[in-house]
C-alpha cells in the first residue's frame, strides 16, 4: 500500500515536473521566437551604420543603402537578408559616376545546414533592377577598380582552422530587369543593355555540378569608332555547362546563342586553373537562311523585317583557341560566305540581287598583331546597279600589306526603290574606280614608287535630305583623284539649305588614316558667298524641341582628334548663332580636337574685327575656349544685342548708342550649349570711344533725382578709355575719367560673380547746374564742415553704386573736394591759403623796404668814397682812356676810376665795391 501510494505520489510529481518542463520549454521557444522577431529591430540602426562604415573604409567610392533587414520567420529555417536601394558612387577621377545602383538585393541562407553540417548553403540570390555603368578612361583606369590596397599580409590558416572546413554553396543566382552601360575610351567603344534577365542555377558547393544558364536581353546596342554594329538587337543565350569547380574547368553541352534571327552553337571547353584562361571553342551557325544573317543589319532589321522576301544561303563558322591573359590573346578564325543572296521589300518596286560574299579572318594569337583579312569576293546588284569590291589585308607588328579594288556605278535615286527610307530624299550618281596595292611602310618612308594607288571617285548632282538633316545637301559636282601620295579634291561645290560652299585641295596620309587610325592631313581652300553654320551646330533633339520656334539652341560640337585640316578661307557672308559676319578671311585649322583661328579678319557689328584663339572639344561635356578679339569702330547696340556675355558683365551697355573699339582676350569653360561657365572665365581688355550716348537708365535717373538735376536723364560720355579685367567671373573696372558736357566723371569698381556691384562714381560738376535747389541739396551733404560752399564754383560728389547688375542702387552720396579731401580738410586748406597770402604780402613789403635802404646806401657811397676818389684820379684816367680809344675805338668805358673791358664787368665790380662799403660802413 505504501508502495502504491508512493508510486501515485511519484507519478503526480513526475506529471508536475513534466508540466513545468513543457511550460519552461514553451517559454524558451516563445522567447527565441520573440528574439528572432525583435533582435533585428533592436540592433538595426547599429548594424546599418557599422556595415556602411566598414564598407566605405575598404573602397575608393561612396557606398550607401536605405535599409538592411534580417528575418528568420519569412522563409524559416532560412535566414533572409535584404538590402534596399544600394548605390556605389565613384570618387576622383570618376566623381559623380554611379557605378552600381539597384532597387533591392536579397539572399536566403539555410541556418540549420550551418549549425549541423558546417555548411553555408545560399539557396537564392536575387538582384532586382540593377543599373550598372562601367567605364574605362583613356589611361586604362576603370571605375570598378574601387578596392583599397591593404598593406596587411594575408594570414596563413592555422591547423585548427584548416581542419574545420566550412563550405559555401549557392543554388540559384537571379538578375531581374538590369540596365548596363559600358564605355571604353581606349577602344572608342560604347555598349548598352536594357532589360537584361539572367538566371544561373547549380550546386556550387559540389566539386562537380551542371550549370544551367538562361540569359535574355531585350535591347543590345554596340557602337565602336562611330559605327553601329548592333542597334537595339535582341539576344538570347541558353546553355548547359558541366563545371569542374575544383579545377575550374567548364565544358559546353547543349547551348544556343541567338542575336535577332541569327543562331550560333558552341562546342568545347574553357579552363582557368590559374591566371591563364585556356580557351578551346568552335562555333557555327546551324541554320543557313540568308534572312537570318541580314537581321544583324540595323537598317534592315528595324524596317518591316517580317515581310521581307529573301533568297540564298550563308555559312558561318569559326574557332577560338589558345591562352588568354594580360599579355596574350588566343588565336581565332572566322569563315563567312553568302551565295546568291537577295532581298526585297514587298511594298518596294526593286530588289538587291546577286549577293555573293567570301570573307576569311585568321589570327594565330599571341600579341594580336598578326592578322590576315581576306575579302576575296564582294558583289551585289542594287536595283541593277553593280558594285564589286575586293580587299586583302595582312598585318604584322612592323607593317601592313594591302590590296584592294572598288568599282561601281550607283544611281542613288534607286536606293529608295530597294530600302524603305522614310522622310529621306536621295538622288545623284556616284562613279567609283579605285585600286591600291603595296605596303604601308612604303608610304611612311615616302617611297611612293613602291606603292600603287590610282583611280577616281566622282559625284554628279548628288542630293540628300532627311528628318535628321532637314536642310539637306546638294553636291553639284565632285572629283577625287587617288595617288600613293594624296587624294586630290577637285571641283567640289555644294549647297546646303541657304548655304553654298566649294572646297578644293589635297588629303595626305589617307592610307595610314584608314588602316592605323593615324591623322588624316588636309590642305584645303574653302570659299563661300553665304555660309549658315547654325544648322550644323544643333542636335536632332534641339531641332525637334524647337520646331516652330525661331530660336534653336546651339550645342557643343565634337572636333575629331584624328584629322589635321588647314583651310584657307574666303567667306563672303557667315551666320553664326545670331551674329552676321561679312568678309571672313584667313586660316581655319582643325587639329588635335581643336578648332584654331590663328588670325581671322572679318566685318561684324557694323565695324571690323580681328580674332585669334581656339575652341577645344576634347572634353565635350565641358569644352574650353581661349580667344583674343580686336574690334574697331563697332556699333554698341549691335554687339550688345548679339553677345550675351557683354550683357552679363555690363548691362548698362544695353542703354548705350554709338561706336566703340574693344580689345579683349579671355579664356573660359563652356556648357553643352556653348554658354560660358562664368566661374571659370578670365580675361582683360580695353574699351575706347570718342562719344557714347546713354539713354535713360535707372542708375543715373536715381542719381539725378538725388542731385535735383536732369542732366543724367540722357547724356553723352566723351573720350572714354576704360581698362578692365575678369578673374574667375569677377569684373574689375580700372579707374577712368570721361566727360558729360561740362562735367567730369571718374568711375572704378567691380562686379562680382553673383552680380553684386561695388562701384565708385566721382562727379565733378559746376554748381550752377544744380539750379535753384542747389542749397537744398548741398545743405544735407555739407553738414557742419565750416566750408563756405556758396563761394565754390565746382562741386565733387562721391557716389557709391551697389545692388546688383540687374537691379543697381545708389548706396550713398558724399560731397568731396579737390583730390577727394574731406570738407574739414578743405576748410583747413582755405585757412592755410589765407595765411600764405598774408605772408606773401609781408615778404613783398620787406623787400620794398630793403630796396629803399639800398638806394640810400648807394647815394652815400657816391657822395663819400667814389666822389673824392674819382676827383683825384680823374686826370690820370682821362689820359689813359684817350690813349686806349685811339688804339681800339668804342671798346673801353670808364666808370669812376676803374677801367674794365665791358659794361657787364663794370657793373659787377661796382656791386662788389658797394657790398664792401656796406659791410664796413
**What pLDDT is stored for residue 313 in this prediction?**
92
Count CB atoms within 10 A of the CB of residue 654.
14
Query: Is a pLDDT exceeding 90 seen at residue 287?
Result: no
**What pLDDT is stored for residue 179 in this prediction?**
92
Weakest-pLDDT range from 82-86, 312-316, 491-495, 639-643 = 82-86
Helix (H) or strand (E) holding 796: strand 794-803
Query: Is a pLDDT exceeding 90 seen at residue 615?
Result: yes
**What pLDDT is stored for residue 714 in this prediction?**
81
* Mean pLDDT within 317-323: 94
**What pLDDT is stored for residue 523 in this prediction?**
94
**What pLDDT is stored for residue 341 in this prediction?**
93
Distance separating alpha carbons of residues 13 and 8, to the nearest angstrom: 9
pLDDT digits (tens, 9 = 90+) for 712-724: 888 888 888 999 9
| Of 398 and 163, the one with more pLDDT | 398
Residue 2 — pLDDT band, cuts 50, 70, 90?
very low
* Mean pLDDT within 512-526: 89
| Of 64 and 6, the one with more pLDDT | 64
Distance separating alpha carbons of residues 826 and 819, to the nearest angstrom: 10
Q: Is the peptide bond before 169 cis (omega within 30 degrees of 0)?
A: no
**What pLDDT is stored for residue 571 in this prediction?**
93
Query: Is a pLDDT exceeding 50 seen at residue 875?
Result: no
C-alpha separations of 391 from 80, 405, 489, 527, 626 in Å: 60, 7, 24, 36, 45
**What pLDDT is stored for residue 541 in this prediction?**
44
**What pLDDT is stored for residue 382 in this prediction?**
92
C-alpha grid cell, residue 78: 532560412
**What pLDDT is stored for residue 299 in this prediction?**
62
**What pLDDT is stored for residue 138 in this prediction?**
80
User: What proportion of the chain, given as a percentage, has pLDDT over 90?
Assistant: 30
Query: Is a pLDDT exceeding 50 seen at residue 250?
Result: yes
pLDDT digits (tens, 9 = 90+) for 701-711: 888 877 777 88
Distance separating alpha carbons of residues 380 and 370, to the nearest angstrom: 30
Structural contact between residues 118 and 167, judged by C-beta atoms closer than 8 angstroms: yes
* Mean pLDDT within 163-181: 74
* Mean pLDDT within 899-904: 44
C-alpha separations of 616 from 509, 622, 728 in Å: 24, 9, 19
The distance of Cα 141 from the centroid of its chain, to the nearest Å, equals 20
Give the residue from 860, 868, 917, 855 showing the smallest Cα distance to 896.
868
| Of 847 and 338, the one with more pLDDT | 338
pLDDT digits (tens, 9 = 90+) for 292-316: 888 888 765 556 777 889 999 999 9
pLDDT digits (tens, 9 = 90+) for 805-830: 888 888 888 877 544 444 455 555 55
pLDDT digits (tens, 9 = 90+) for 257-279: 999 889 999 999 999 888 889 99
698: left (phi over 0), alpha (psi -120 to 50) or beta: alpha
Query: Is a pLDDT exceeding 80 seen at residue 872?
Result: no
pLDDT digits (tens, 9 = 90+) for 196-242: 999 988 887 788 989 999 999 999 998 887 788 888 889 999 999 99
pLDDT digits (tens, 9 = 90+) for 639-676: 888 887 777 777 788 888 889 998 999 999 998 888 88
Distance separating alpha carbons of residues 301 and 261, to the nearest angstrom: 9
Distance separating alpha carbons of residues 601 and 612, to the nearest angstrom: 9
C-alpha grid cell, residue 338: 553568302
pLDDT digits (tens, 9 = 90+) for 427-439: 999 999 999 999 9
- Cα maximum dimension of the chain: 199
Query: Is a pLDDT exceeding 90 seen at residue 481?
Result: yes
* Phi (first) and psi of residue 195, to 5 degrees: 55, 65
**What pLDDT is stored for residue 658 in this prediction?**
87
Weakest-pLDDT range from 112-116, 566-570, 661-665 = 112-116
| Of 6 and 793, the one with more pLDDT | 793
* Phi (first) and psi of residue 258, to 5 degrees: -130, 120
Structural contact between residues 73 and 79, judged by C-beta atoms closer than 8 angstroms: no
Sequence-separated (6 or more) residues with CB below 8 Å from residue 766: 742, 743, 793, 794, 795
**What pLDDT is stored for residue 706 in this prediction?**
78
DSSP-derived secondary structure for 10-57: HHHHHHHHHHHHHHHHHHHHHHHHHHHHHHHHHTHHHHHHHHHHHHHH
Residue 795 — pLDDT band, cuts 50, 70, 90?
confident
Helix (H) or strand (E) holding 170: strand 167-170
β strands within 467-560, DSSP E: 473-482, 486-496, 499-508, 520-532
Helix (H) or strand (E) holding 117: helix 111-117
DSSP-based helix, strand, coil % in the chain, nearest 5: 25, 50, 25
Structural contact between residues 360 and 377, judged by C-beta atoms closer than 8 angstroms: no
* Mean pLDDT within 552-575: 87
Query: Is a pLDDT exceeding 90 seen at residue 22?
Result: no
| Of 871 and 90, the one with more pLDDT | 90
Count CB atoms within 10 A of the CB of residue 283.
18
**What pLDDT is stored for residue 14 in this prediction?**
43
**What pLDDT is stored for residue 163 in this prediction?**
43
Distance separating alpha carbons of residues 256 and 265, to the nearest angstrom: 5
pLDDT digits (tens, 9 = 90+) for 837-847: 667 776 776 77
**What pLDDT is stored for residue 585 in this prediction?**
93
Distance separating alpha carbons of residues 215 and 219, to the nearest angstrom: 12
**What pLDDT is stored for residue 458 in this prediction?**
92
**What pLDDT is stored for residue 833 in this prediction?**
66
* Mean pLDDT within 132-161: 67
Average pLDDT, rounded, for the chain: 78
What pTM value is reported for the model?
Answer: 0.65
pLDDT digits (tens, 9 = 90+) for 351-410: 999 999 999 999 998 888 899 999 999 999 999 999 999 999 999 988 999 999 999 999
**What pLDDT is stored for residue 162 in this prediction?**
43
| Of 61 and 271, the one with more pLDDT | 271
Amino acid at each position: 500500500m505504501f508502495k502504491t501510494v508512493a508510486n501515485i505520489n511519484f507519478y503526480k510529481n513526475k506529471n508536475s515536473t513534466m508540466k513545468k518542463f513543457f511550460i519552461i520549454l514553451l517559454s524558451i521557444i516563445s522567447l527565441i521566437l520573440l528574439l528572432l522577431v525583435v533582435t533585428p529591430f533592436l540592433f538595426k540602426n547599429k548594424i546599418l551604420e557599422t556595415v556602411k562604415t566598414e564598407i566605405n573604409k575598404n573602397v575608393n567610392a561612396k557606398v550607401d543603402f536605405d535599409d538592411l533587414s534580417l528575418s528568420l520567420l519569412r522563409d524559416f529555417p532560412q535566414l533572409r537578408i535584404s538590402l534596399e536601394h544600394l548605390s556605389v558612387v565613384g570618387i576622383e577621377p570618376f566623381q559623380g559616376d554611379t557605378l552600381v545602383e539597384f532597387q533591392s538585393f536579397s539572399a536566403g541562407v539555410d541556418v540549420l545546414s550551418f549549425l549541423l553540417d558546417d555548411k553555408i548553403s545560399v539557396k537564392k540570390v536575387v538582384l532586382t533592377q540593377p543599373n550598372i555603368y562601367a567605364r574605362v578612361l583613356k589611361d586604362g583606369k576603370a571605375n570598378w577598380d574601387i578596392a583599397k590596397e591593404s598593406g596587411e599580409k594575408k594570414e596563413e590558416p592555422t591547423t585548427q582552422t584548416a581542419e574545420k572546413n566550412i563550405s559555401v554553396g549557392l543554388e540559384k543566382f537571379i538578375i531581374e530587369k538590369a540596365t548596363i552601360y559600358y564605355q571604353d575610351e581606349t577602344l572608342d567603344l560604347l555598349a548598352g543593355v536594357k532589360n537584361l534577365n539572367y538566371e544561373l542555377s547549380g550546386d556550387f558547393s559540389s566539386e562537380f555540378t551542371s550549370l544551367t544558364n538562361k540569359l535574355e536581353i531585350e535591347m543590345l546596342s554596340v557602337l565602336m569608332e562611330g559605327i553601329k554594329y548592333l542597334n537595339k538587337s535582341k539576344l538570347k543565350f541558353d546553355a548547359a555547362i558541366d563545371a569542374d569547380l575544383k579545377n575550374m574547368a567548364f565544358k559546353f553541352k547543349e547551348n544556343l546563342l541567338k542575336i535577332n534571327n541569327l543562331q550560333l552553337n558552341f562546342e568545347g571547353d574553357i579552363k582557368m586553373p590559374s591566371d591563364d584562361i585556356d580557351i578551346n571553342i568552335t562555333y557555327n551557325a546551324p541554320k543557313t537562311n540568308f534572312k537570318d544573317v541580314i537581321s544583324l543589319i540595323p537598317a534592315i532589321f528595324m524596317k518591316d523585317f517580317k515581310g521581307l522576301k529573301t533568297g540564298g544561303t550563308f555559312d558561318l563558322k569559326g574557332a577560338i583557341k589558345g591562352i588568354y591573359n594580360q599579355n596574350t590573346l588566343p588565336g581565332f578564325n572566322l569563315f563567312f560566305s553568302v551565295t546568291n543572296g537577295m532581298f526585297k521589300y514587298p511594298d518596294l518596286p526593286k530588289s538587291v540581287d546577286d549577293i555573293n560574299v567570301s570573307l576569311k579572318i585568321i589570327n594565330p594569337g599571341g600579341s594580336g598583331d598578326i592578322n590576315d583579312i581576306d575579302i576575296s569576293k564582294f558583289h551585289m546588284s542594287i536595283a541593277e546597279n553593280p558594285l564589286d569590291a575586293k580587299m586583302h589585308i595582312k598585318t604584322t607588328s612592323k607593317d601592313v600589306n594591302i590590296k584592294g579594288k572598288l568599282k561601281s556605278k550607283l544611281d542613288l535615286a534607286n536606293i529608295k526603290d530597294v530600302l524603305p527610307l522614310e522622310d529621306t530624299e536621295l538622288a545623284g550618281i556616284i562613279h567609283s574606280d579605285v585600286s591600291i596595292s603595296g605596303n604601308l611602310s612604303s608610304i611612311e618612308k615616302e617611297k611612293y614608287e613602291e606603292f600603287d594607288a590610282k583611280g577616281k571617285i566622282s559625284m554628279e548632282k548628288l542630293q540628300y535630305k532627311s528628318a535628321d538633316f532637314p536642310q539637306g545637301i546638294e553636291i553639284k559636282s565632285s572629283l577625287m583623284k587617288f595617288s600613293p601620295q594624296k587624294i586630290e579634291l577637285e571641283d567640289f561645290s555644294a549647297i546646303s539649305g541657304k548655304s553654298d560652299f566649294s572646297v578644293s585641295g589635297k588629303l595626305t596620309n589617307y592610307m595610314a588614316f584608314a588602316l592605323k587610325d593615324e591623322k588624316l592631313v588636309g590642305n584645303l581652300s574653302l570659299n563661300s558667298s553665304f555660309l549658315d553654320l547654325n544648322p550644323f551646330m544643333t542636335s536632332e533633339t534641339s531641332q525637334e524641341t524647337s520646331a516652330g520656334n525661331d530660336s534653336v539652341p546651339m550645342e557643343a560640337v565634337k572636333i575629331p582628334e584624328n584629322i589635321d585640316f588647314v583651310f584657307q578661307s574666303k567667306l563672303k557672308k557667315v551666320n553664326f548663332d545670331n551674329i552676321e559676319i561679312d568678309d571672313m578671311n584667313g586660316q581655319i585649322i582643325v587639329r588635335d580636337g581643336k578648332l584654331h583661328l590663328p588670325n581671322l579678319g572679318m566685318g561684324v557689328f557694323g565695324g571690323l574685327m580681328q580674332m585669334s584663339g581656339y575652341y577645344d572639344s576634347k572634353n565635350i561635356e565641358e569644352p574650353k575656349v581661349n580667344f583674343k578679339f580686336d574690334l574697331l569702330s563697332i556699333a554698341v547696340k549691335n554687339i550688345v544685342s548679339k553677345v550675351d556675355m557683354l550683357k552679363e558683365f555690363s548691362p548698362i551697355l544695353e542703354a548705350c548708342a554709338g561706336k566703340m573699339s574693344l580689345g579683349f582676350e579671355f579664356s573660359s569653360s563652356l556648357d553643352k550649349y556653348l554658354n560660358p561657365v562664368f566661374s571659370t572665365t578670365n580675361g582683360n581688355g580695353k574699351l575706347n570711344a570718342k562719344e557714347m550716348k546713354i539713354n535713360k537708365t535707372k542708375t543715373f535717373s536715381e542719381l539725378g533725382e538725388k542731385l535735383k538735376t536732369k542732366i543724367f536723364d540722357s547724356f553723352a560720355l566723351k573720350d572714354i578709355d576704360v581698362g578692365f579685367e575678369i578673374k574667375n567671373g569677377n569684373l574689375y573696372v580700372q579707374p577712368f575719367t570721361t566727360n558729360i558736357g561740362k562735367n567730369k566723371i571718374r568711375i572704378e569698381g567691380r562686379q562680382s560673380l553673383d552680380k553684386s556691384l561695388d562701384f565708385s562714381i566721382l562727379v565733378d560738376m559746376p554748381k550752377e547746374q544744380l539750379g535753384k535747389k542747389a542749397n537744398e541739396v548741398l545743405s544735407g551733404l555739407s553738414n557742419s564742415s565750416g566750408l563756405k560752399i556758396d563761394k565754390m564754383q565746382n562741386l565733387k560728389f562721391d557716389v557709391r553704386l551697389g545692388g546688383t547688375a540687374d537691379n543697381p542702387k545708389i548706396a550713398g552720396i558724399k560731397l568731396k573736394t579737390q583730390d577727394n579731401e574731406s570738407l574739414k580738410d578743405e576748410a583747413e586748406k582755405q585757412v592755410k591759403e589765407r595765411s600764405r597770402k598774408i605772408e606773401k604780402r609781408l615778404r613783398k613789403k620787406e623787400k620794398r623796404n630793403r630796396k629803399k635802404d639800398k638806394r640810400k646806401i648807394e647815394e652815400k657811397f657816391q657822395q663819400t668814397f667814389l666822389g673824392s676818389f674819382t676827383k683825384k684820379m680823374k686826370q690820370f684816367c682821362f689820359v689813359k682812356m684817350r690813349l686806349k680809344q685811339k688804339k681800339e675805338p668804342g671798346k673801353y668805358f670808364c666808370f669812376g676810376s676803374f677801367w674794365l673791358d665791358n659794361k657787364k664787368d663794370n657793373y659787377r665790380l661796382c656791386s662788389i665795391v658797394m657790398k664792401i662799403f656796406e659791410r664796413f660802413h
